[in-house]
A and B are shown apart, each in its own frame.
Chain A
């Protein structure tokens, strides 16, 4: 963990809301944001919910793009049959699209998703488990 990370001001309220409870002494490395998540406090639930929502939003966005690119093709072909008559270099457009063109798009979406999901997790980790924290609460 980088020792020189400085806290953005937005995190301060999160850390002040935690209530010290006797059983917390069992956990040596207690961290405010994490404690909230673990104890299922009102604040922790909100935090968890917003994190899940961000993850879901990212997944659904990527899924929508993937479906819009691929699954729209039959509708396009049905609405405008002229599309299926096009040939490129002697090969039917349909063959090029279904046989080759979709795969790079699927890969690109997957790569983009992995990168974004990793960043999302890193940002959340930094929020609830900041690198710089007081030695005791």
Chain B
């Protein structure tokens, strides 16, 4: 298995570099680097946006969380798609008609303030880096899973490849790369999902029935690579090799009680068909919720599931508007109408993609329940093909999945790095191609270093948090900036700072383990539920208090954003 997968990853990386290298010849001016000179047609642009958007969270994280925590984790995929519908309804066409490169450009152009531009730039860096971390983590665990290299090798590989590629080619290259990456990712998750679905055939859907503790469909040997604590729902007769509950076994039979057990690293436990699947304590679905519960409690330890679910819904539905690497793509549409068409195609492409993580998660639940025992839910998609389909077909599918996963890390982190490096060079340093190149390399190095510290968080959770920060800061800025004439630079700055900082602080508190039960766990773990309304409120109230600062040309700027191009050229 490693050879085929390593080959596939090397292939996808090489192709990415080669397709990106086309950009070296094409990209000549900073404008080419930043927005591909605004000549990208809707279908190509939509595939590029989707390619950029579908990250490690979509490819590995969602299926893993569904297996570990239940169907409620599918709110992430619904939210990531619905985010584009919200973007289409509120932002897409006006943003393109406004015509600026980045969110800081929008803020400065709409509200006429240099200080606001710098505030917005700082936040682009926060969101961009926060979003880069899970991509790096994904690369780290994927290489670790396939080749056994240490975590940092994968992280560093991705960091070097992406930084160099962007420093050389810029975004013109990346548009082709991203488009190619979308189709790679769709194939890499769709083909395995369909093949495994057909190969495993129709089984009684026992493990899917509500409130039914999962059982092994066939005799299964579970290998535990790391020390693992687990519980059993019923007593079971097993064969153990290794150390379990303090005893050393050599392929001996043992009867395990329905209680908590501790297995040392390297232990193998053989279960017979019909035996209950052990539940890992590290991944236990929280607070007695059944697997098919529509609630999502990742990051909040099961407290107040309804509020936690709405936290995720608000963050993902409204977060897409505020993602800096996504918005920059809207400037590459020829006009506002094309921006709308592009966005609708994006919703279609995302909907298609997100059918498959759900299928893979159901297959894992049905046929490979031992995956619950893996200590890191992000491995599920990588592990599934070779578990369900032994032999060469399984190996090939695993290689395909590995390639797709790497495509996901490469494309999302490329897009993010373009935004971060663009913000650094465009807004904080002197502009120019050389400056952009050095910023790309520096930003990549920072993200790589930080990614080494966040190994224990699910990538879906980490990406969800990046969305929460975006929804609590840039989303109010974009929505009010586009639809509310009376927004002032003071209101915008206050809203961005209060919303962004309170959200970031809540997330950092959760990462440091500040609160792990009750309302504090919910409000800190899924902060969007209060930080988004807070940011909107602060922005509106402060704007109303500083009405003298409404730009004199606000009315005309608003009109230009909303009128069709044919009219605003004359008006």
Instruction: Using CB atoms and an 8 Å cutoff, list the residues of chain A in contact with chain B.
Output: 29, 31, 34, 37-38, 40, 45, 48, 51-52, 55-56, 59, 62-63, 66-67, 70-71, 73-75, 77-78, 84-85, 87, 90-92, 94-95, 97-100, 102-104, 106-107, 109-111, 113-114, 117-118, 121, 124-125, 128-129
Contacts and interface: CB of A to CB of B under 8 A. Distances in A.
Nearest to A118: B337
Interface stretch (B176-184, B324-332, B414-422, B560-568): B560-568
Contacts of A75: 306
B205 interface: yes
Given A56-B483, A84-B210, A84-B292, A111 B354 contact: no
Taking each of B204, B344, B558, which has the highest tally of chain A beta carbons within 10 Å of its own beta carbon?
B344
Given A70-B313, A98-B72, 10 more contacts: A37-B559, A59-B89, A63-B86, A84-B210, A92-B292, A94-B71, A95-B208, A98-B77, A107-B347, A110-B343
Contacts of B71: 92, 94-95, 98-99
Nearest to A85: B210
Given A37-B571, A129-B570, A66 B344 contact: no
A39 to B, nearest CB: 9
B344 A114 contact: yes
Contacts of A63: 86, 89-90
- The secondary structure that dominates the B interface is helix
Interface of B: 71-72, 74-75, 77-78, 81-82, 85-86, 88-90, 93, 204-205, 208-211, 290, 292-295, 306, 309-310, 313, 317, 337, 340-341, 343-344, 347-348, 351, 354-355, 358-359, 362, 483, 555-556, 558-559, 562-564, 566-567, 570-571
6 pairs of A and B residues whose beta carbons are closest in the complex = A99-B358, A103-B351, A92-B292, A98-B74, A90-B205, A59-B89
A118 B338 CA distance: 11
A59 B81 contact: no
B458 to A, nearest CB: 18
A114 B358 contact: no
B564 to A, nearest CB: 5
A87 B295 contact: no
A89 to B, nearest CB: 9
Contacts of A109: 85
Nearest to B336: A121
Given A48-B559, A63-B89, A70-B82, A38 B341 contact: no
A106 B294 contact: no
A78 B292 CA distance: 13
B483 A74 contact: no
B310 A74 contact: yes
A137 to B, nearest CB: 14
Contacts of B558: 48, 52
Nearest to B90: A59
A80 to B, nearest CB: 12
B308 to A, nearest CB: 10
A78 B559 contact: no
A55 B74 contact: no
